[in-house]
Copies of this chain bind each other. A is one copy, B any other.
């Protein structure tokens, strides 16, 4: 068992068919409930460690129904359809509610696939940016524990330092890695996919409450490719919004390995308060 704080946070204990028990980690706490990326990685982990798993994760959609309360939770992962080379999963995270029922706090679907090598091509080249050691680590806001788990070096579109409504675009580019070095894997990059601060903060240079409602991750790299990256490697992240409308904006984002391979494309729809 890894002693890395990330692996501790996503640890699940099997508890009967298709059920796993987990516990929130103070190390990945957000302002309300846990960092969404650690919840997504935990959901993925239930599928990865399920005895019926076929292949590896290809896509994940997670819907944040309610704040996960500090404490224990149950992840239920059901393989609802197994084909020759793909498998479809539905996942739910539940916690005891006020009335004693199990409340659903997260729903998710995961597709896994047994992939084989084919003609392949990256069609979104990594942007040309300064190397990580040439970029200043920008001090991150102190308001959430999970931010201390990552090292971020923003190349473009950092968290605004002045909240004066002067924003002109929504694109962030940054180098990203675990603060405590960790081997890249599918759970780890799932956390990275949710590591961008809300686009509305950048676009408006205005600090307003915001929270992810639904996130989708497409895994272009498999675990063998990720395992070939050295421990402590950087990942380049790029995120931007396409529309802010009536309380919700979208985010479209990419993650590349330090040597320029696309690892993940990911999207989310995010609530924002006026």
Once bound together, how far apart are the Cα atoms of A121 and B218, in whole Å?
A: 27
Once bound together, how far apart are the Cα atoms of A126 and B265, in whole Å?
A: 22
Residues of B within 8 A of A228 (CB): none
B248 touches A113 (CB 8 A): yes
User: Would you give the shortest CB distance from A122 to chain B, in whole angstroms?
Assistant: 5
B244 touches A119 (CB 8 A): yes
User: Would you give the shortest CB distance from A167 to chain B, in whole angstroms?
Assistant: 10
Residues of B within 8 A of A233 (CB): none
User: Would you give the shortest CB distance from A263 to chain B, in whole angstroms?
Assistant: 9
Once bound together, how far apart are the Cα atoms of A220 and B115, in whole Å?
A: 34
Checking B103, B122, B250 against A243 with a beta-carbon cut-off of 8 angstroms, the contacting residue is B122
User: Would you give the shortest CB distance from A63 to chain B, in whole angstroms?
Assistant: 5
A252 touches B252 (CB 8 A): yes
Counting chain A residues whose Cβ lies within 8 A of the other chain, the interface size class is 35 or more
Instruction: Pick the interface stretch among A36-44, A81-89, A137-145, A182-190.
Output: A81-89
Query: Is residue A15 within 8 Å, beta carbon to beta carbon, of the partner chain?
Result: no
Once bound together, how far apart are the Cα atoms of A242 and B123, in whole Å?
A: 5
Copies in the complex: 2
Interface residues of A, dominant DSSP = strand
Residues of B within 8 A of A63 (CB): 59, 88, 109, 111
Which residue of chain B has its CB nearest to the CB of A170? B123
B59 touches A81 (CB 8 A): no
Residues of B within 8 A of A244 (CB): 119-123
Query: Is residue A70 within 8 Å, beta carbon to beta carbon, of the partner chain?
Result: no
Contact residues of A between 143 and 198, Cβ < 8 Å to B: 169-170
A242 touches B214 (CB 8 A): no
A220 touches B243 (CB 8 A): yes
Add 18 more A-B contacts to A109-B214, A113-B213 (CB < 8 A). Answer: A58-B213, A59-B63, A61-B61, A65-B81, A81-B103, A116-B247, A118-B247, A119-B244, A121-B244, A122-B245, A123-B169, A123-B170, A123-B244, A218-B243, A218-B269, A220-B245, A245-B262, A252-B265
Interface of A with B (CB < 8 Å)? Answer: 58-59, 61, 63, 65-66, 80-81, 83, 86, 88, 90, 92, 103-105, 107-109, 111, 113, 115-124, 169-170, 203-204, 213-214, 216, 218, 220-222, 240-248, 250, 252, 254, 262, 265, 267, 269, 271-272, 274
